[in-house]
Structure formats: C-alpha cells, structure tokens
Chain A
C-alpha cells in the first residue's frame, strides 16, 4: 500500500499577474521502503513537489494523502504536529540549530515529541553512532565539516521515527567523499530499517543510487522509472 499519494497536484504562483505553473496535474504514489529520486532541471518543480508532500506548501488544485490521512487543508497546528511525527526533513544547507551540539540537535526533535529522556538519549546516541559521529556528540555545527553536519541532519530527520524522509538536494554542498559517505549511510538506513527516502536532486551520484527515478520537466512528470 502506498504511504504517500499525490492526487492531481497543481501549483500556480502569481495566478492574477504572471502565472507560473510550478506543478501540473501531478499524481504519484510512493511505497514504503522506496529510495526515490526526483530529478529535473532547475524550475522543473522538484522542490515544489517535495514541499507539497511535506505539507510546507499548499497546492492550487489536488491534494496529498499520507498513510490515508489527507494533509492538504489541515490546520496549521495539526499540520506542524503531523510533520513532527510523520515526516523527516533533510535540507541542502543542513539547517542545524547552531547553538546546540550534534547530540542536542538530534534529541531536540524527540523533545518536541515529548519522548522519555532515556529513550531520547538512547536513540540519539544510536543514530549518531550509526552515522559515524560517535566522537562528535558534543560538537556544535560550526565545529563539524559539511558532510558531518549533513549526517547530523539525517540523524535528526530519523530521530522522530518518521514514515519517510524528504531530502532536498542533500549532497549539493558536499564534496564527493562526503556525498558518497552520506549516501552510504542513507542507503544503509533504507535497506536495514526500511526507511523511505525521497530526494530532489541534480546530483548524478544520488540518481545512480536510487531505485526509482522520477524525471520532471516544466512542473509535470516526464518519466517515472524503477530500476
């Protein structure tokens, strides 16, 4: 059964002045455990699609269902809560909380979920160790390399035990080694813990690793291939 379904999603920016069609009638289904890449040139609608799935943007037409729950039209408070408990985000610029250590950044999400302290500790340590950061628990973001920061970001995304992770250009700011290392970690999580990943990317290294590649052009699905 699909955990994410988009029904005829369309998004038009500036409808009253110079309309920009960011998405055109996009209907997709994502199964649990997928390792999917959404690719396409700049302005093709990759990020807009991920934002719609993540409930960060509202479609002009159509709607998004996650595990049978229609998130389009949810109230702000409900949606924030839904994101917290169901969706993990990895951003291109890492976006860690600069004043928190790696350990605190990962724990913070669980604090928002009101998890037990002992569970928070165990999970944060487990994830950071799995990401190869066992010696960096107490390091703040500025003391970490780009690759390490992005791994902390992945650990943070996984900490809430989400149904899937949306990663927007996660390797764009990383050198090859860091990017490959990060992809290895994510692939491992996908295979061993059946975590669903959806990437938007230009990066061929990511596309090569994906088992499903969706190509978008001008806001529409151009190709949807499974390897």
Chain B
C-alpha cells in the first residue's frame, strides 16, 4: 500500500511529474550518448594501438625498452611459443621483427618501417588480410613485400614493381634486399599508411641477419580483462629468460594519460549535467514536500511513523527518477545504436589532430552495459541525496504547526 500511495501521489500533479520525468530522460539520453561516444572513441584508439602496434601484452628482450635495436632482438622458437601458449587464458601469440630502413623505388627513396610478420597470426589480431586493397599477401620466403598505399604513392610504386630495402641488420650487418610488391594495403592510421612495409617473418629475419630472432612476441588473451593477470604470470614464467613483459598500458603510457585526461574532462561535464538534473528533481520534490506539510502532519497525528512517511516520499522520488532513467535508456539506445553502426567520420582539423596520435579518424559509440549501469547508479545516488531534504523535513516536522499550514 506504501507503493500504491507513492505511485498515486506522484500523479497528483501530472504535468509537473511529466516535466520532471522528461528532464531526467533527456539528461540521461545526453549523458549516455556522451559517455558512449567517449568510450567508443577511446576503444578505437586502444584497438588501433593494440592491434597494429603493441598488442595487449608484449614480450621483449629485457634491454629492448631502453635500446630498441635489432641487437636486442631475442631468440624465438617453438619451445618459447609453447611455453607462452601453455599459460591459462592465452589465446595465441604473434611474433614480429621490426626496424626502420630506407625504401626505394625507381624514382624515390623514403624512410620505412619494416615489419616481418606471420600473416595468418596477424590477421587474427587485426584482420590484416581485409585491409589489402590490391594484389595478394606473400608466402614465407617468397621474396615479395606488401606495401601500404601511402608509401607506395610516395615511391610511385604499384603491384608488380620492385622495392629496394636498405638499412642495418643485427650487430651492424648491412641489410639490403630487392622485393617484388605482391600487394598494397590501406592501413587505418595515416602515419603508418605512409611508411609501412610488410615482409614474411623468415624473409625479414634473413634480410636483417636475425635468423630465429624477433623483436617482439605479442600475446593475445582470451579476454581483454585478463591482460594484467596474464602479464603477471608471464613475468614469473619468463623471469630467468632475460625477457621483459609489458602490457599495452605500460608500452604507451602517453595514450593512457591522454585517455585519463579525456575521461576526467567528461566526468566534469557529466558532473555539471547531473547538478542540473539534480536541481530539476529537487525543485519538484521541494514543491511536493512543501505543499503537503499539512498532510504529513495529519499522517503523523493518526499514527504513521516518521521514517515510514520519509520512505513513501523516497519511493515517490525514486519512481519519478526511475521513470526518467528507463525512458532515457529506451530513447538513448537509438542514437547509440545508430552511431555504433555508422561512426562519425572526423574531418578537417579534428582529423589532423587524431591522425597525429596515429588513430583512425572515426568516432563510433560503444555499447557497454556498464555505461547504463553507471547512469542508473548516478541517478540513484542523486535521488538519495535529494531525498535528504524531505526526510529531514519529515523527521523534524512539528505536527501541530504542519497541521495548521
């Protein structure tokens, strides 16, 4: 009956209740969209970085972090691979050898980032094969290379042309090779699209005089949330191997800081938004409380305990906010779904800024239950704080004075 009382009370002034519910609803839609868009943009950044650069976990020679040189590549064989794969929650590993070299065509020379990879394994992490726009991927030791479109344009090269790679191999060995371009690939980030050359792992190892050596072993967890625990296990497993283990957060702390700063900004904005919502709800509750002081006095006179009366008012506030929140969820999911499947494509200056970070210039929304849960929790906390006013009013109410109002 308390629920019935609370429910009917909120409809005593339908227009006021509907206005309050609507204000909560629109605020929730706005907050959800904002949070979802921010999360989506962050996910793009993290995905770009983990899929094309660092992986979720990376095993390196322990000297590589301070001196990222081929001299600090490490020995990689099936035994090491099996040792890592054998850990619980590890899905697969990806060996890579990476270095900077000069790339030259018939007419031009440019700096290039050369990456020796096993295509099938890379593809599991970043769908590399789907990014191929022309030609085909190489087979191991077939002497061909895949070049990113931007670099190919700069060198004025196409599929079937020859590419010269020139640089330094392991321990100062001269590294030079001539490769036929078997395919062109469009890398999602502009920076990498302008400088990347893919070779098969054995080809790259031979070119760089680094037989059986790699510069990084990427470890992919079954679930992203297990990243930290797998890294801990790997550290203890490989502690005698002169190998170091890093998570993506440790490898790109500047990105983590940028994301945290961005998050702090949106939290601040969200805080301001909730203060605005809070005042809206408070206005309604204040009016509802003050215009019912006499009724409260009567209910206390006839024997209703103050705490029960406060509970009824709390339920009323909760009903109003929960209706707003649920309506907000229903309405909010529409733009979130739309922009999830049709991400906003950044242009102009924003595209430049994002490209500088090496990130795809798109902003999709993210669909994550915790975004909704957090909004619900925030509004519940807000409601509880707002309810302090009628609760205090009821607990300190003088029955006779209230009955005379």
A interface residue numbers (CB < 8 A to B): 51, 54, 56-57, 76-77, 80-81, 83-85, 89, 91, 95, 97-100, 104, 107-109, 111-113, 156, 160
Interface class of chain B by DSSP: helix
Q: Which partner residue on chain B sits nearest A54 by CB separation?
A: B301
A91-B298 contact in complex given A57-B400, A99-B8, A99-B12, C-beta closer than 8 Å:
yes
Contact (Cβ within 8 A) B400 A100: no
| Listed A/B pairs (23) with beta-carbon separation below 8 Å | A56-B400, A56-B403, A76-B306, A77-B306, A80-B304, A80-B306, A81-B303, A83-B303, A84-B302, A84-B304, A91-B298, A91-B403, A95-B294, A97-B5, A97-B299, A99-B5, A99-B8, A99-B9, A99-B12, A104-B1, A112-B302, A112-B303, A112-B305
Q: Which residues of A contact B243 (CB under 8 A)?
A: none
Q: Which partner residue on chain A sits nearest B1 by CB separation?
A: A111
Please tell me if B300 contacts chain A, counting CB pairs below 8 Å: yes
Contact (Cβ within 8 A) A77 B5: no
**CA of A97 to CA of B4, assembled, Å:** 12
Contact (Cβ within 8 A) B306 A83: no
**CA of A35 to CA of B301, assembled, Å:** 22
Q: Which residues of chain B from 273 to 321 have any CB-CB distance to chain A below 8 Å in the complex? A: 294-295, 298-306, 308
Per CB-CB distance, the 6 closest pairs between chain A and chain B, nearest first, are A84-B303, A99-B8, A95-B298, A83-B303, A111-B1, A56-B399
Contact (Cβ within 8 A) A112 B400: no
Expressed in whole angstroms, the minimum distance between the Cβ of A215 and any Cβ of chain B is 24
Which one, A56, A98, A100, A108, contacts B301 given CB within 8 A? A56
B interface residue numbers (CB < 8 A to A): 1, 4-5, 8-9, 11-12, 294-295, 298-306, 308, 399-400, 403
Expressed in whole angstroms, the minimum distance between the Cβ of B299 and any Cβ of chain A is 8
Contact (Cβ within 8 A) A77 B305: yes
Contact (Cβ within 8 A) A156 B1: no
Contact (Cβ within 8 A) A156 B12: no
**CA of A111 to CA of B312, assembled, Å:** 14
Expressed in whole angstroms, the minimum distance between the Cβ of B216 and any Cβ of chain A is 69
Q: Which residues of A contact B298 (CB under 8 A)?
A: 91, 95
A51-B1 contact in complex given A76-B306, A109-B303, C-beta closer than 8 Å:
no
**CA of A85 to CA of B5, assembled, Å:** 21
Expressed in whole angstroms, the minimum distance between the Cβ of A115 and any Cβ of chain B is 12
Expressed in whole angstroms, the minimum distance between the Cβ of B326 and any Cβ of chain A is 22
**CA of A77 to CA of B308, assembled, Å:** 11
Q: A80-B303, A95-B298, A112-B308 are in contact. List 18 more A-B contacts (CB 8 A).
A: A56-B399, A56-B400, A77-B305, A77-B306, A80-B305, A81-B303, A83-B301, A83-B302, A84-B302, A84-B304, A85-B303, A89-B301, A89-B302, A91-B298, A104-B1, A112-B302, A112-B304, A156-B302
Expressed in whole angstroms, the minimum distance between the Cβ of A96 and any Cβ of chain B is 9
